[in-house]
Structure 1
């Protein structure tokens, strides 16, 4: 293994200067820094994380608490966090909070202190008062991604705004019979995302003088299979006249598109479908969506916590989203034919 002394000799500087040049701490001229960096690269020298931690007083690791490791959204957010931390020379320490209340309590009580980290990002997990106190007691930067708790910095998208935008897109195209697939009660615990998204859908309809209570709606579990089952119920209802459908997630929207195909319903000729997320499968299915940029959310959260770790602040911000129009939406057909009638 190449030592720091060997790098210093190759660069023609002292070991102390080489250490300052590679760590970024202390004054070193740009020319000297470049000379040391080139020598380290040529020799294959890797900075010792343990030595770096001792010198800086930091572990150069960020803890990330997430409630799920299997869903696409959480994987995408973790990708954005991991990429940003790696580029900054930080490790990621992952804590998966399961449905086991004892394990969840142990993570907040002991795990975060057992392996020292410089900051913590909590992903889409609503914290109770005791958990909040535990995080505050760590004495390090903490940020919540996917919610805005009262006592901790948070950043989130406007969950009403995303479905309002999706419904407004269909209304602007001329659709008036619009159905909705939202999350069921099991997903309403953390920051009430299903409730917020249904409220945004309702607001769009109310603004056009449409009674939201009259809109056909079904609950599902944010999966393709759940969206498929819910859409079959909506499309198969006797006398259904839906020409548009908003799903509170892209996976449910994709399930609805598959259900429509199985029922012989043409998209978008008979029914236009809009989702929310920006799922990677959306392009393949031609799905119009409100993209919430989950990888970008992870990057923003990581940049925020890193800025606070080095004492530069780190501003809270509303997370961006945008409508991406593809082939699953179009103006309604003028024939007024019920979707329960076979096509062509």
Structure 2
């Protein structure tokens, strides 16, 4: 028969509530008593009941995660890193995949996470009504996407500065005909495509380069979309000598299209991406590196801090560093191009 908390209390000569506080790391227990309790619990093979702890502390020891595309690299990387941090702290994850529009609509209408989670990590950007619904849960909220918003701790990057660095790199190499493979924000309310496009236009303007709408193509933030977009750019009367892809996956699709057209990179066309995808180094892609896994881990740590210290000041926005990584896909344009 497994030992109970009362068995540990009797062995040490303290109350069951003191044993509970000691094993949960709470204050009010001396170091000497705590060490004797831990030793007695180990000797007796006592393991605290998760359900009992939940009832006593009002916690579920579960963190909810809502995401639009759990199968995509960015979201999967963020989720893996967050899970590592939360699991080490004794929390389980409850995942909701809200990619399909109907699934998202049903989730926010029913809010099935209510009273089932202690905190929530959002990997999608809620609109005003959705944000209000999430705040009504009364639990700590964090996200790794989008701009600052009320009630959320946002861990992210400066998308505009990153895209400016990418396009400015191409300008500094001497390119004047620069295309962009982008993505629409659409119903997911993404801000990254908007900010990265603004940066592209800003740098062209500061360099005195006229914007050609024919050089902006939607790549859907996928490899297939990037290949399709690059093929479209090659079909314009005066193709670009360089391309900024708003994600590495679209950049990889662009590289595939250029290879199929028997064009050399960077001799014929330079390509720069954004993200530093785990395969970017393999294909030699020049890119803007952002710490994707670190964003997930930091968001998880901030949620845990809010759970452990409910009265502490909550950071509204944490900006992670970005950097330009030079590899093999960018070079000055050929003479005459």
Show the counterpart of 2:278.
280
Residues in 2 aligned to 1:132 and 1:239: alpha-carbon distance in whole angstroms: 45
Residues in 2 aligned to 1:329 and 1:288: alpha-carbon distance in whole angstroms: 6
Q: Deviations over 1:157-209 (max 9, x none)?
A: 333222112111222233322211001x4646414432221111111111111
Show the counterpart of 1:95.
96
Q: 1:18 to 1:318 in 2, by over 3 A?
A: closer
SS in 2 for 1:112: coil
Deviation at 1:304, TM superposition (A): 2.2
Show the counterpart of 2:221.
222
Q: 1:196 to 1:186 in 2, by over 3 A?
A: closer
Show the counterpart of 2:53.
52
Show the counterpart of 1:153.
152
Deviation at 1:264, TM superposition (A): 2.1
* 1:61 aligns to 2:62 (yes or no): yes
Which shifted more, 114-123 or 9-18? 9-18
Instruction: Tell whether the 8 Å contact from 2:267 to 2:334 is kept in structure 1 after alignment.
Output: no
Deviation at 1:72, TM superposition (A): 1.1
Instruction: Tell whether the 8 Å contact from 1:273 to 1:329 is kept in structure 2 after alignment.
Output: yes
Unaligned 5+ runs, structure 1: 339-344
Instruction: Tell whether the 8 Å contact from 1:287 to 1:328 is kept in structure 2 after alignment.
Output: yes
Deviation at 1:256, TM superposition (A): 1.0
Q: Deviations over 1:288-316 (max 9, x none)?
A: 21122221121222222222223123212
Instruction: Tell whether the 8 Å contact from 1:278 to 1:289 is kept in structure 2 after alignment.
Output: yes
Question: What TM-score, normalized by structure 2, do the two folds share?
Answer: 0.86
The within-5 A match list for 1:57-136 is 57-101=58-102, 103-113=103-113, 115-129=115-129, 131-136=130-135
Unaligned 5+ runs, structure 2: none
Residues in 2 aligned to 1:214 and 1:110: alpha-carbon distance in whole angstroms: 43
Instruction: Tell whether the 8 Å contact from 1:147 to 1:154 is kept in structure 2 after alignment.
Output: no
Aligned pair count reads 333
Show the counterpart of 2:195.
196
Residues in 2 aligned to 1:198 and 1:135: alpha-carbon distance in whole angstroms: 29
Q: 1:122 to 1:214 in 2, by over 3 A?
A: closer
Deviation at 1:282, TM superposition (A): 1.0
Show the counterpart of 2:294.
296
Which shifted more, 48-57 or 4-13? 4-13
Show the counterpart of 2:269.
271
Deviation at 1:27, TM superposition (A): 2.7
Deviation at 1:34, TM superposition (A): 4.6
* 1:141 aligns to 2:140 (yes or no): yes
Residues in 2 aligned to 1:44 and 1:213: alpha-carbon distance in whole angstroms: 71
Residues in 2 aligned to 1:79 and 1:42: alpha-carbon distance in whole angstroms: 35
Question: What TM-score, normalized by structure 1, do the two folds share?
Answer: 0.85
Residues in 2 aligned to 1:334 and 1:133: alpha-carbon distance in whole angstroms: 54
Which shifted more, 163-172 or 319-328? 319-328
Show the counterpart of 1:342.
none
Residues in 1 aligned to 2:208 and 2:187: alpha-carbon distance in whole angstroms: 27
Residues in 1 aligned to 2:259 and 2:10: alpha-carbon distance in whole angstroms: 70
Q: 1:178 to 1:25 in 2, by over 3 A?
A: same
SS in 2 for 1:121: strand
* 1:26 aligns to 2:27 (yes or no): yes
Deviation at 1:37, TM superposition (A): 4.1
The within-5 A match list for 1:170-181 is 170-181=170-181
Which shifted more, 25-34 or 82-91? 25-34
Deviation at 1:2, TM superposition (A): 4.8
Deviation at 1:236, TM superposition (A): 4.4
SS in 2 for 1:63: strand
Instruction: Tell whether the 8 Å contact from 1:270 to 1:332 is kept in structure 2 after alignment.
Output: no
Q: 1:271 to 1:208 in 2, by over 3 A?
A: same
Which shifted more, 274-283 or 302-311? 302-311
Instruction: Tell whether the 8 Å contact from 1:272 to 1:328 is kept in structure 2 after alignment.
Output: no
